[in-house]
Amino acid sequence: MRLPIYLDCNATTPVDPRVFAAMTPYFTEIFGNAASTGHAFGAQALEAVNTARQTIARAINARPEEIIFTSGATESDNLAIKGVARLRGRGHIITAATEHKAVLDPCRCLAQEGFRVTCLPVDSHGFIDLDQLASALTPDTILVSIMHGNNEIGTVQDIAAVGALCRARGVPFHTDSTQTIGKLPFDVEALHVDMASLTGHKMYGPKGAGALFVRQSCELKPILDGGGHERGLRSGTLNVPGIVGLASALDVATNQLAEDIAHSRHLRDQLWSCLKNVAPTTRVNGPDPLETPESRLPNNLHVSVGDFEGDLIGSALCNVAVSSRSACTSGSTEPSHVLKAIDAPTTGVMSLRFGVGRFTTDEDIAYVVEQLTSTLNAFR
């Protein structure tokens, strides 16, 4: 065990050594521009991109031509949402209150441009109500965007049901699947998804490399003008090392998906059992991981601790990297919009998001448990 211990894998993950090895030649040896196909350097780069596109498509049951490479999930979300809206020119968009800002902010931008936006509420565990979604759909609805797994509280929505409803009404369906592709099974056909955002750094791949699945029947207006790359939907020189790393990361994750899920759940559940024992008033935000494990990201634990000072928790976790803050973000008077949406306490509490990962060990969790137990018991 090495200190500090990293438990913030919902924010980012380290690059898997296998992924790093796959990327390395494309920095110094196969360094050509994938658009420069008139010579061997460019042709080799293009071949790597095409292979990566096939790998990603195979992993999510899509066609290679339906994979559009981007700089990451934020760009993918913007391309999906603004791309549909600006092609149509007007209409109605539906999303949810607990979406990532990469979805909510583009929707707010479009609202300022005259589009009508409905933001669905969620229940105390972060789930939308399918009946409310059905009631919100109108003849002028042009897009529904509902995330698959929540980045803060780990709630996994039933996007297969959302997708089926949208398909029946003829409405394109986009999902921000940043937290789930590479962590949970994901099949665009079974889930009835028309567009899905993904990124490398959430699944042990590189930062700055992402993709958007765009079903062939789904039309978008590009948000970047330039050389017409990526079926004309995303101009810009392709990040070949990043694309290779993204594909490699997803390939590794797909091949050991069951192992990773079991490993993460085991460690996450150990941590939650400990917290419940040493701080009984601790509230889990999102679905209870022990009662409904399928409804939560396997590596995520988000809790609110209300009966101890935040500084005390911080001292217990001084050698542990977690997403740790009060319910109000530093430098802001606004609480987390996700905690607000599920009606979680936002004053007098400390919120902690633990994100265990592929390289987290039993010893790491034992250390965290020991630190929390000894510190909180001493305080008592």
Peptide bond into 4 cis (omega under 30): yes
CATH assignment of the domain containing 173: 3.40.640.10
Q: Which of 255, 290, 310 is the last residue of a domain?
A: 255
- pLDDT value at position 335? 83
The confidence band for 317, taking pLDDT boundaries of 50, 70 and 90, is confident
Q: How many domains does the chain have?
A: 2
Q: Looking at the structure, do residues 149 and 263 belong to the same domain, yes or no? A: no
CA atoms within 13 Å, Cβ hemisphere of 63: 7
Q: What angle do CA 175, 183, 263 make, to 5 degrees?
A: 155
Q: What is the mean pLDDT of residues 8-26?
A: 98
Distance CA 92, CA 116 (A): 5
pLDDT at position 228 over 50 = yes
pLDDT for 309 equals: 62
User: Which residues participate in catalysis according to the annotation?
Assistant: 328
pLDDT higher at 316 or 83:
83
Report the range of poorest mean pLDDT among 200-204, 226-230, 249-253, 288-292: 226-230
Task: Supply 20's token pair.
Answer: 């790093």
Q: How far apart are CA 318 and CA 5, in angstroms?
A: 10
**Domain stop point among 255, 275, 305:** 255
User: 300 and 227, same structural domain?
Assistant: no
Q: Based on the fold, state whether residues 149 and 272 are members of the same structural domain.
A: no
> Cα dist. 371→10, 263, 313, 320, 379 in Å?
22, 22, 9, 10, 12
Residues 201 and 127 both lie in one domain: yes
Identify whether residues 337 and 266 lie together within a single domain. yes
DSSP 8-state symbol, 155: B
Q: Which residue has the tokens 């409803």?
A: 165
Whether 203 and 328 map to the same domain: the answer is: no
Inter-residue contact 201 to 207 (CB < 8 Å): yes
216 and 71: one domain?
yes
Question: In terms of pLDDT, which residue wins out, 116 or 311?
Answer: 116
**CATH code for the domain of 352:** 3.90.1150.10
Output the average pLDDT for the chain. 93
Which 3 state secondary structure label does DSSP give 106? Answer: helix
Residue 327 has pLDDT above 60, yes or no: no
380 pLDDT more than 80:
no
pLDDT of residue 329: 47
Domain of residue 302, residue span: 5-13+257-379
Residues 251 and 290 in one domain: no
Q: What is the pLDDT of residue 210?
A: 98
Say yes or no to pLDDT of 377 above 80: no
Flag whether pLDDT at 326 surpasses 60: no
25 phi and psi angles, rounded to 5 deg: -60, -25
- Residues 221, 75: one domain? yes
DSSP three-state, residue 97: coil
Mind listing the pLDDT tens digit for each residue in 76-108?
999 999 999 999 999 999 999 999 999 999 999
Instruction: Say whether pLDDT at 310 is over 80.
Output: no
- Report pLDDT for 37: 87
Nearest CA to 370 among 269, 263, 270? 270
Instruction: Tell me what the mean pLDDT of segment 154-175 comes to.
Output: 98
Q: Using alpha carbons only, how large is the chain's radius of gyration in Å?
A: 21
Of the three residues 197, 224, 255, the one that is the final residue of a domain is 255
Same domain, yes or no: 195 and 233: yes
CA 89 remoteness from chain centre:
28
At residue 314, the pLDDT reads 73
Q: Does residue 200 register a pLDDT over 60? A: yes
User: Quick check: 98 and 147 in contact, CB under 8 A?
Assistant: yes
Name the residue among 184, 233, 258 with its Cα closest to residue 67. Answer: 233
Residues 192 and 316 in one domain: no
Kind plus residue range of the DSSP H or E element containing 120? strand 116-120
Please state whether the predicted TM-score (pTM) of the whole model is above 0.85.
Answer: yes
264 falls in which pLDDT band (50, 70, 90)? very high
Examine the domain organization and report whether 173 and 31 are in the same domain.
yes
pLDDT at 94: 98
Q: Please name the residue ranges forming H helices in the chain.
A: 17-23, 25-28, 40-60, 73-88, 101-112, 130-136, 159-169, 240-255, 257-278, 310-316, 337-341, 362-379
